Each structure stands twice: as structure tokens, then as C-alpha cells.
Amino acid sequence: MDMFVVQGGRPLRGRVAVSGAKNAALPIMAAALATDGPTTLHGVPDLVDVRTMAALLQTLGVAVERAEDGSLQLEVVDKRPAIAEYELVRRMRASVCVLGPLLGRRGRAAVSLPGGCNIGHRPIDLHLRGLEALGADIRIERGYVVARANRLKGASLYLGGACGSTVTGTCNVMAAAVFAKGTTTIEAAACEPEVEDLGRYLNAMGARISGLGTPTLRIDGVDRLEGTTHTVIPDRIEAATLMIAAAMTRGEVTLDNVRLDHMTAVVRKLEEIGVKLQPQPEGAVHIDGTGPLRPADCIALPYPAIPTDVQAQLTALLTQAEGISVVTDKVFPDRFMHVSEMARMGARVRREGQSAIIAGGEPLSGASVMASDLRASAALVLAALAARGESVVRRIYHLDRGYERFEERLRMLGADIRRVVDTPANVPASLHPLSATAPESEAA
């Protein structure tokens, strides 16, 4: 297992490009199951989750190849397999995105239930409710969702749940409904840009979906889809993470390949906190994080509000803003494993129900911390970049699932961050509590 060793306290400076969006790429790759023609995808990041989806699609009869120009080529070569095995599904919850396209195109699908998750309870009842409304027969058998339908039928259905709509659930139902006979209306559809991007991809293949980006989708069924070429949208979560990294280290960074229109709530919140953002030509944005940081209240909600996937990074940032901040997560109310790790770095932060209460303004001090999920890992790396002294961030395999070459790109911005194998010998001597070079000793 790898870990990062980070020497904190260096302001980030320079220019990097944001990758294509993981959470758009995964359902789009899965939807390649729905066409007999070839798909070419540009802007698919090279991530562990993307490789897991590629491996899963290969077991489902899709040839997947990364071309020399970096594009991903997908083509169905065998339409018979319809079982998404536990071994691959348990590694990545987004595997469930194969359910809708498989059912719609092949009339049957068996997809393993994914099991536990570090960010809280993640049921798929809304996915199943939506597919049942289209006429699918759905059973849970031996840990698998087994779905069958001769021909799905258009229907009016509602995808709202206790915590809002469902992103991958909307993807699943939309990708199945493109083949349903007649018209489907989905109310309380997720409006996230990643869902819209999947819809654009399906439409480019010949689907007839309108209302994309709104809570009401209308889908007129078609008999078949053609192959197409599509470019995945930039990753708004990675962009936000890098913006916050610039602000936390009091640096100045320019990011390329940013869709600011996909991240209005985050941009407004960062401006309220004191970060200056200046749009530049051709999708670039300049971030000036050198000014004073102010405390803020942030609430993560479904799009277009602040995304839950930026909640942990905002919590890290607000540890550096003098005063009391509150960060609430209404999408995944248990997604606060990072709070106790940040406290180990000296952050004055505690969890209160679905919120983190932060008394910010104290410098963080380097420590050995443990990542618990993808976005928590990113937040801990940001905290380590801002902290005095050295830190170790363990279990970064979580981070590798969603950020492409993250440490290399941070190094391009001047960060002192190294990937090493997690062994006691690689833990810096300064992290020993009684070390003469430990940050506490420096301060004394």
C-alpha cells in the first residue's frame, strides 16, 4: 500500500489542467453497453475506478481499449453476458450503472449488490423502483439484483428520496428508458451535470431525451442506438479541490479546463470565504488565495447547491478561517470520517449530527493521518499541504480511485509531496512524538 509524505507550508503556484469528470465517465462507459456501434470517448481520466469499469465491461462482452491519443474506445463484441459479478462490483459502487443499459438492451441483467460503504448508508431502492415502473421484473437473489423485461414500457415515475434525487439512479433509469416502448417521464430526476452529460451521449447515439439538466426528463423510446464520439465534461469536483488547495496554501493557481457554470455554488462560497476567482479565456480560471479567509456556513445538497463531494475539502479550508464555521451534509449525513483525522492535525473541529463545527484560524500541524474515502483523502492531503511540518497520509488507494496523478500535478504547482510505500521505515522521523524536529518542538 502507498502513502503520501507531505512537507506542508508551501504556497501552490502555477498552472495545471483539470481532468475529465470521473462521475460522468463511469455511467457513460456503462451506457456503451446500449449500442452495437463503436464509442469513442475523449477526456476519460486514467483512474482506478475507470479501470475497474473497463474490467467490468469486458466481462459483459465489451472490448475496451485506450488509444494512443488517450481516447477510450468501446465496442460490444458479445451480447450474451449479463452478470456483473460481486468481485468487481464490490470494488466500486458505480458498477451499478451497468444495470439500466443491460436491462434496456439485453432484456436481462444480474448485478451484484455492492455492499458496505465508508460514506454512509447507500441503498439502491430508487434505481429499482424506477426500473420496476418501466415494467421490469426485479428480484434480489443470492446478493444479486436480477432484472428481466421483454420490452420495457414508457411510464411516469418519480425518483425523489429522503435525501433528494439519485445521481446514478437517474442514469440507470434514463439509460433503460431510452429503449422503452412509448414515452417515459421522470420526475425528481437528478440535475447534476454528470447526468446531463450521459443524456447528451445517449442523444448523440440516437436517443430522444429532453429536459436534461432539469428535474423533469421526457424520454421517447427508440429501437436501437448507433455508435458515437463524445467528450466528457471537466471534473467540477477536482476543480473545486484544486481551488481549495490554492486557497489553503495561500497560493495563486491557474486551472485549465474548468466549467465554472457547473460550480456556481462552490465559486460563490469560495468568494464569500475570501478566495478571489477570475475567469480567463478558453475555460481557464485564476485563483488567488492570498487574502484573508473568512468563516462560513456551507450546506451540501443536490445540484445546483454545494456538492457533498466537496464537503470534506471545504471543512479542511475552513479550519484556516478565523472564527466559527458550520459545514452540513444533507446528501450523505454520515460522511464525516475526516473530522477526527483533521483533529489529529490540530484542527478545532467536531461533528454534531450531520454537521462539522469548526473553530478555525489555528495553524495545522503535520501528523500521520488515515484516509477513509476518496474525498476525505483529498481533504487530508489539502490539510497536509497547509500544515506546519511533515505529514503522512495513509490509505491513498481511496484517492487513486478519483484523482489522476494527483501528487504529480500538485508537485507541478510547487507542493512537496512524495508517494512512498507505507512502511514504518518511510515514516519521517519528525513524526515521532518526541522527535527534536517534531512540529510541536519547533513551536516550543
Q: Applying CB under 6 A, which residues contact ligand EPU?
A: 23, 26, 93-94, 121-127, 161-164, 166-169, 190, 194, 307-309, 331-332, 374-375, 402
Report, in Å, the least distance between residue 373 CB and ligand EPU: 7
Query: Which contiguous run of DSSP H or E holds residue 252?
Result: strand 252-256
Q: Are strands 297-300 and 323-329 parallel, antiparallel or unpaired?
A: parallel
Report, in Å, the least distance between residue 413 CB and ligand EPU: 22
298 is catalytic: no
Instruction: Please tell me whether 93 is known to bind a ligand.
Output: yes
Closest to 387 (Cα-Cα) out of 324, 431, 351, 333 = 431
Burial of 1 (0-12, 13-18, 19+ CB in 10 A): exposed
Query: Which contiguous run of DSSP H or E holds residue 53?
Result: helix 48-59
Q: Which residues contact 142 (CB under 8 A, 6 or more apart)?
A: none
Retrieve residue 317's grid coordinates: 479550508
Nearer residue to ligand EPU within complex by CB, 1 or 162: 162
Instruction: Please tell me whether 22 is known to bind a ligand.
Output: yes
Nearer residue to ligand EPU within complex by CB, 51 or 122: 122
Nearer residue to ligand EPU within complex by CB, 93 or 105: 93
Instruction: Please tell me whether 309 is known to bind a ligand.
Output: yes
Q: What is the DSSP string of 145-181?
A: EEEE-SS-B--EEE--BTTB--HHHHHHHHHHHTTSB
Nearer residue to ligand EPU within complex by CB, 35 or 166: 166
Torsion of CA 310, 164, 167, 192, to 10 degrees: -60
Report, in Å, the least distance between residue 403 CB and ligand EPU: 10
d(CA 92, CA 85) in angstroms, rounded, equals 12
Report, in Å, the least distance between residue 186 CB and ligand EPU: 14
Instruction: Please tell me whether 198 is known to bind a ligand.
Output: no
Catalytic one among 117, 163, 171, 298? Answer: 117
Report, in Å, the least distance between residue 145 CB and ligand EPU: 11
Instruction: Please tell me whether 331 is known to bind a ligand.
Output: yes
Instruction: Please tell me whether 23 is known to bind a ligand.
Output: yes
Q: Which residues contact 2 (CB under 8 A, 6 or more apart)?
A: 396, 397, 400, 419, 420, 421, 422
Nearer residue to ligand EPU within complex by CB, 321 or 396: 396
Spatial contact of 204 and 35, defined as CB atoms under 8 Å apart: no
Would you name the residues annotated as active-site residues? 117
Residue list for the binding site for phosphoenolpyruvate? 22-23
Residue list for the binding site for UDP-N-acetyl-alpha-D-glucosamine? 93, 122-126, 309, 331
